[in-house]
Amino acid sequence: MNKFMVVTRQVIRKNIKSPAYLFSLFFPVLIIAAIALFAFITNKTNQTPTIAITSNNVALRNALIESPTHGDYRVSKAISTEQVAEKRLSHEKIDGYLNVTVTGQTVSAVYRQRTNGNSLDSDTLKNNLNTLKLRQAAQQLGLTAKQLQQLFAPASYKTQNVAYQNGVVRRQRSNQQGANLVVAFVVTFLIYMFIAMYTSMIAQETATEKGSHIMEILVSSVSPVTQFFGKVTGMLALIVLQVIITGIAGLIGMQYFNHNISFLGDFSFSQIQPGMVSVLVAYFVLGVMLYTVIAAMLGSMVTRQEEVSQALSPLTTVGMLAYVASFIAVNSNSLLIRIGSYVPFLSQSLMPVRYAVGNAALSEVWASVAIAAIALVLMTWVACRVYQQHVLDYSNRKHWYQFGRKRRA
Amino acid sequence: MLTVANLTKRFGPKQGVEDESFTIHEGEIMGLIGQNGAGKTTTFRMILNLLPPDSGTVLWQDHPLTKDDYNTVGFLPEERGLYTRMSIQDQVVYFAALRGQKPAVTRKALPQWMARFNVKGKLTDKIKDLSKGNQQKVQLIATLIHQPKLIILDEPFSGLDPVNAQLLEDSIIEMKQNGASIIFSSHDMANVERISDHLLMLRNGETVLSGTPDEIRSQFGNTRVRLRSPLDKAALVAFPGVNDVQQRGNAYELTLDNEAVGHDLFKAATSKGYIPEFSQEPPSLDEIFRIEVANHE
Ligand SMILES: Nc1ncnc2c1ncn2[C@@H]1O[C@H](COP(=O)(O)OP(=O)(O)O)[C@@H](O)[C@H]1O
Ligand SMILES: [Mg+2]
């Protein structure tokens, strides 16, 4: 086994064995499970109500009982009179009953329900009643079924969103855009979280090795370059693992909520373009790695572990600013936002959002991804050199991150 | 064979090491002595390429030490460091793997080493739960378990009680018998004198003494006498050529002007026949160490 692999495996093993890391790894799974459990419990306690239908018009009552319920209620057919229904209600055998009174052309209905019963979503019942009334009226007017259908066919209504770029209209179906934006937001947030997490992980680790002088053993066993790349590769493996777990948890969760919970509206995964997915994955890996590499460098520059957060703060601030700017990018396509979406360290937050709202074409996105990739190569090279020079440097030489504080002091 | 030639390192105006030269053959132990700040740690760092020398060369088996030689090195840094959250086994396996030893080999050898150093703890115990002494022993095991050929131990005896120091001495001797070249530092003479084939004393980076323990001691002449005889203190103090008289129980320790004084002293002490003790020796290394330190203050 070569030493590069020894270091890489050590980074992976060490973190996988840490409870804090495992928790963060499976956090999305826990969240999804918790929400699913919550939905399951609330579904259980709020079951379909059982109701009775009574009427002075037997034909109407029968027709109403036969109408589709869409699972909103269940009709207890045996109860046909108001007295019986009231009695059943008082015994809590049913959740409510509908009494329909037909007098000439007017139809009036009263729904009485127990306050402690399962509540009724009355839309379906109302629609059924209206349909029956209309059909009755139409029959009296002598209309055919076809005429009836024409009469009640709803007007067509659609929303189209347009985005202009260089005076050219590009069109996206609105729900597709919605889906992209949701995913872009979630992923931008996750990228920010990952950046905060992995920068601190690798910087702490490096600073600990240096502060505890383990570094002297490491450097006399493995060259700093091998060590650096081993560490960074180990981190990359952890990042990919976490992206996969988070992604799978997200997919399963969204699919589940799609069927069971309506907050996502008509969100659907079929609406996310494959292009969007590859963009997000590219930014995920490139963006987080860019920060991780720099964090390893910063970790090697401090002499004591307590200095880590201070040394990291400029880096994490940039990450946070980029994340905040991503909210602005939803509604604004200003020059600053456009430039920012090409700048490494910012692009991972800005470009996915710009693309999702239709402010950037796929070609522009890939250009920005390419810039980020080149930046990653360059930064890795720089970080590796700095790491090499600083891992054994215990002199209290002032580093750039200390200047501000010293001057203020 | 490790050959260090004319090694020099300055830290700004401060002297690190000045024109240091020595050779350690296979199966030899070199003891590096000197006060704090004498340049011992700096010497080790330069041998291992952790610190570039201003001038001078370090050759291992007649070539500069490169990363291909790392697997044959065992290094115990002065400031001990272990991953406190790792288990003993994971820790030792990792360090050995970094020196190119397969985990299976390390896992097989580890229990014997634990027993040899009498480490109190299970293989799965976390380092942070061990006592300081046991942590130090784990680090020693991690330094030696891959059977290195070039062993560098920076103050290995500090913090060890006499029993554990003896265990370490035995292990160092065993490594020497296996053909390793060993260099270690100490500011305690006792261990150094017992196990070193060669000694090098540094003071402010300069080499003030170098050679085998006997060579070094004989440079100072046979001027120490320990004596139990009918002669009392007053007679000894008055004796020509005797500089200093110290009473140790019912024996006396004398410092002579030169070796010849011993002959006269022996005659005088035995003039009435049998005496229980007379020994004439060079000063102990411990004393030489103190003389050398005092010489330059
Ligand atoms: N990185 C460094 N920067 C500046 N001075 C140093 C450095 N390392 C060692 N020194 C100085 O070099 C001298 C020798 O130190 P060292 O080799 O650690 O001594 P020893 O190990 O014998 O106690 C000391 O005066 C020490 O202060
Ligand atoms: Mg030292």
Q: Which domains does chain A have, with CATH numbers?
A: 50-142 (3.40.190), 173-408 (no CATH)
Q: Is some CB atom of chain A closer than 8 A to the CB atom of B67?
A: yes
How far is residue B268's CA from residue B281's CA, in Å, rounded to a whole number?
A: 18
Q: Are strands B242-248 and B251-256 parallel, antiparallel or unpaired?
A: antiparallel
Query: Residues A235, A237, A240, A244: is their CA dihedral positive or negative?
Result: negative
Q: Chain A contact for B48, CB < 8 A?
A: yes
From A220's Cα to the closest Cα of chain B, the distance in A is 6
Residue B98, chain A, CB below 8 Å: the answer is yes
Q: Is the Cβ pair A216, B99 closer than 8 Å?
A: no
pLDDT digit string, tens, across residues B51-64: 899 999 999 999 99
Shortest distance, CA B99 to any CA of chain A (angstroms)? 6
Q: Does residue B46 have a pLDDT over 90?
A: yes
CB of B64 within 8 Å of any CB in chain A? no
Residue B133 C-alpha to ligand 2 middle, in angstroms? 19
Residue B201, judged by CB atoms within 10 A of its CB (0-12, 13-18, 19+), counts as buried
User: What are the contacts of B242-246 at 24+ separation with CB within 8 A?
Assistant: none
- Provide the whole-model pTM: 0.77
| Alpha-carbon distance B219 to nearest alpha carbon in chain A (angstroms) | 38
| The pLDDT value given to residue A44 | 60
Enter the DSSP assignment of A222: S
Q: Are residues B48 and A221, on separate chains, in Cβ contact within 8 Å?
A: no
- Rounded to 5 degrees, what angle do the CA atoms A26, A28, A34 make? 105
Residues 6+ apart with CB under 8 A from B150: B2, B60, B69, B72, B73, B74, B180, B181
pLDDT for the residue A304: 83
Task: Characterize the bridge pairing of strands B150-153 and B181-186.
Answer: parallel
B47 lines ligand 1 (CB under 6 A): no
Residues of A in contact with B155 (CB under 8 A): none
Which of B7, B8, B10, B14 for mutating ligand 1's site (highest number of atoms within 8 Å of CB)? B14
Chain A interface mutation, best of B67, B85, B106, B139, highest count of A Cβ atoms under 10 Å: B67
Amino acid at A305: Q
Cβ contacts of A392 on chain B, cutoff 8 Å: 50-51
Is residue B20 scored above 60 in pLDDT? yes
* Rounded distance between C-alpha atoms, residue B81 and residue A10, angstroms: 17
**Rounded CA gap, B30 and B33, in Å?**
10
Stretches where chain A sits below pLDDT 70 are: 1, 42-46, 154, 157-179, 256-273, 395-409
Is residue B38 a contact partner of residue B202, using CB atoms and an 8 Å limit? yes
Question: Mean pLDDT, to the nearest integer, of B225-230?
Answer: 92
Q: What is the pLDDT of residues A158-171, one digit of tens each?
A: 655 555 655 655 54
Could you give the CA distance from residue A159 to residue A48 in angstroms, rounded to a whole number?
34
Q: Which residue has the tokens 């009435």?
A: B272
Cα(B79) to ligand 2 centroid in Å equals 9
| Unique residue bearing structure tokens 């203190």 | B233
Query: Which of A6, A13, A215 lies nearest to residue B98, judging by beta carbons?
Result: A6
DSSP codes joined into one string, A244-265: HHHHHHHHHHHHHHHHH--TTT
User: What is the predicted pLDDT for the residue at A395?
Assistant: 66
pLDDT in tens, B86-138: 999 999 999 999 999 999 999 999 999 999 999 988 999 999 999 988 999 99
Domains delineated in chain B: 2-216 (3.40.50.300), 221-281 (3.30.70)
Reading the block at residue B117, the tokens are: 């150093």
How far is A399 from A313, CA to CA, in rounded Å? 14
Q: In terms of CA atoms, which chain B residue is nearest residue A211?
A: B81
User: In this predicted structure, what is the pLDDT of residue A249?
Assistant: 85
Q: What is the DSSP string of B245-293?
A: EEEETTEEEEEESSTTHHHHHHHHHTTTS--SEEEEEPPPHHHHHHHHH
> Which two three-digit tokens encode residue A83?
């007295």
Neighbours of A144 (CB within 10 A): 9
Token pair of A358 as six digits: 């239709």
Residue contacts between A and B (CB atoms, under 8 Å): 58
Q: How far is CA A115 from CA A47, A118, A120, A124, A225, in A?
A: 14, 8, 11, 20, 72
Interface predicted TM-score of the whole assembly (ipTM), two decimals: 0.86
Q: Which residues of A touch B81 (CB under 8 A)?
A: 209, 212-217
Q: How far is CA A74 from the centre of its chain?
A: 36
d(C-alpha B227, C-alpha B250), whole Å: 9
User: Cα(B280)–Cα(B252) distance, rounded to whole angstroms?
Assistant: 12
What are the backbone angles phi and psi of residue A100, rounded to the nearest 5°?
-105, 125
pLDDT at A262: 47
Ligand 1 contacts CB of residue B37 (under 6 A): yes
Residues 6+ apart with CB under 8 A from A263: A257
Give the three-class secondary structure for A392: coil
Of B75, B86, B94, the CB nearest to A220: B75
Of B49, B79, B83, the CB nearest to A213: B79
Give the residue whose CA is nearest to atom 24 of ligand 1.
B37
Q: Which atom of ligand 1 is nearest to the CA of B40?
A: 22
The DSSP bridge pattern shows strands A160-165 and A168-173 to be antiparallel
Q: Phi/psi at A268 (nearest 5 deg)?
A: -150, 145
